[in-house]
Amino acid sequence: MTLHKGGTERARERRPHPVNPFYGEADPVAGMETAPPRYTLPEGPISPHNAYQFVHDELMLDGNARLNLATFVTTWMEPQADVLMTECRDKNMIDKDEYPRTAELERRCVAMLANLWHAPDPAAAMGCSTTGSSEACMLAGMALKRRWARRNHDRYPGTARPNLVMGANVQVCWEKFCNFWEVEARQVPMEGDRFHLDADSAAALCDENTIGVIAVLGSTFDGSYEPVAEICAALDALQERTGLDVPVHVDGASGGMIAPFLDPDLQWDFRLPRVASINTSGHKYGLVYPGVGWALWRNQDTLPEELVFRVNYLGGDMPTFALNFSRPGAQVAAQYYTFLRLGREGFRAVQQATRDVACSMAEQIGALGDFRLLTQGDQLPVFAFTTADHVTSFDVFDVSRRMKERGWLIPAYTFPPNRQDLSVLRVVCRNGFSLDLADNFVADLEQLLTELRRQSAPLGRPENVATAFHH
Ligand SMILES: *Cc1c(COP(=O)(O)O)cnc(C)c1O
């Protein structure tokens, strides 16, 4: 979470300020006269009604999630899912003994994913729920590192320093993993029109200290799928040449729940023998509210036993693999709900509708003439675009800032090495973002363009431009 520095109230805020007389419950005149302090624990209690109203009013200023084209995370679920999540909000995932049925639903979700991702022996696949893909990636990275350390116990700890090979377009969780677990991040830069990892560069960066290669399905920068099968083939060739056997982890945070339904012939999962583990975010295209991810390993060999902890379960013990201990069970129940509710055909229909919206929107934006599409929304339902070469009066940052005036959140950011010269806008389509909303977006953009074209020059990019929009 954001690492906050302690705050104090500014002088203006410290003065007791009056509050709405209606906050005096039954008697507006005898009600509270000053608002409670904001950065110190209030001296005494207030009524639940007032506490609710304060928090509620403050949160009104948050954005409208449905108009947010920046995030991959689910912003709408059916009312039945809300009910189910409310019913489960007091359940702690780790109390397997107290909540054996929640544990069972988690097990079923893992089994369904193992089957969906073509584990050769679904019964032998291992997996768990997590708080999201980031935690899942930490776990998968730890398993890769431990397996490598075992194979190299004569050199590590000691002289060898482990490394992990990835594209410069990876999500920030992989930089975190490398930082936290002291692994060198070997990143393949973008070159020209190649905006993600390619097979030859990946294999070229591998050596005897490589714990694995991360292949992303798909990239958060532009929604493109990395060529997982080609990467595996290049590593097969490397093994033939050198004997190095480098496993692949697929970061399927988004694509793990898109490709199985929309691109069934694409070979990216456990069908490729080199793929040791896969993660996905249940709260992205798994269609569940924030707080759930999944990590799966091909079999027991790919998940070292010594990383597994055991918790009490109905008098026996149950293996667990997690960074957290306590965690809400509601998201896991909601994930099982979406699996049960939609089935394969339902998922296919939902994801296809989302991809249709993305493709249609990309096409319309391309047709405006002011932009150049980098991707078309036909892999992840996500696309990136930049201003066309002839456009000199405005830039992507102007578009992002001005669209916010109309309520649309669309991030602008620069690409990582070696394409820091390229700044883009990115649209993430999700279930709930309808064709109607997409048409409204394009209409608003078109109207804005008549103003932007009249600018004499871009109005200046913000000073601290993010080099990666990491949602
Ligand atoms: C979103 C994302 C992550 C991080 O996932 P969380 O579920 O937000 O923790 C990791 N990798 C990729 C490719 C992503 O898109």
Please check the confidence at residue 313 and state whether its pLDDT lies above 90.
no
Instruction: Name the phi and psi angles at 380, rounded to 5.
Output: -65, 155
Top mutation candidate among 195, 284, 327, 428 for ligand 1, by most atoms within 8 Å of CB: 284
Ligand 1, atom 5: closest residue by C-alpha = 133
- Looking only at the bridges linking them, the beta strands covering 371-373 and 126-130 are unpaired
pLDDT above 90 covers what percent of the chain? 76
| C-alpha of residue 131 to centroid of ligand 1, in Å | 11
Q: Which of 13-22, 137-146, 257-266, 292-301 has the lowest mean pLDDT?
A: 13-22
Regarding the beta carbon of 130 and ligand 1, being less than 6 Å apart is answered no
Sheet holding 248-251, edge to edge: 126-130, 293-297, 275-281, 248-251, 210-216, 163-167, 184-188
pLDDT category at 284 given cuts 50, 70, 90 is very high
- Looking at residue 63, its pLDDT comes to 78
Regarding the beta carbon of 133 and ligand 1, being less than 6 Å apart is answered yes
Q: What is the pLDDT of residues 424-463, one digit of tens each?
A: 999 999 998 999 999 999 999 999 999 999 999 998 676 6
Separation between Cα atoms, residue 279 and residue 141, nearest integer Å: 11
pLDDT above 70 covers what percent of the chain? 92
Nearest atom (ligand 1) to Cα of 220: 15
Ligand 1, atom 2: closest residue by C-alpha = 253
| 380-408 mean pLDDT | 96
Cα 356 to Cα 219, 287, 352, 360, 386: the distances in Å are: 19, 17, 6, 6, 21
| C-alpha of residue 171 to centroid of ligand 1, in Å | 6
| C-alpha of residue 470 to centroid of ligand 1, in Å | 8
Separation between Cα atoms, residue 170 and residue 179, nearest integer Å: 14
- Looking at residue 244, its pLDDT comes to 97
Q: What is the pLDDT of residues 328-357, one digit of tens each?
A: 999 999 999 999 999 999 999 999 999 999
| C-alpha of residue 324 to centroid of ligand 1, in Å | 17
For residue 68, whether the previous peptide bond is cis, meaning omega lies within 30 degrees of 0, is no
Regarding the beta carbon of 279 and ligand 1, being less than 6 Å apart is answered no
Regarding the beta carbon of 226 and ligand 1, being less than 6 Å apart is answered no
Please check the confidence at residue 29 and state whether its pLDDT lies above 80.
no
Q: Which of 44-53, 163-172, 282-291, 401-410 has the lowest mean pLDDT?
A: 44-53
Regarding the beta carbon of 251 and ligand 1, being less than 6 Å apart is answered yes
Top mutation candidate among 170, 177, 220, 471 for ligand 1, by most atoms within 8 Å of CB: 220
Q: Which of 5-19, 288-302, 408-422 has the lowest mean pLDDT?
A: 5-19
pLDDT category at 68 given cuts 50, 70, 90 is confident
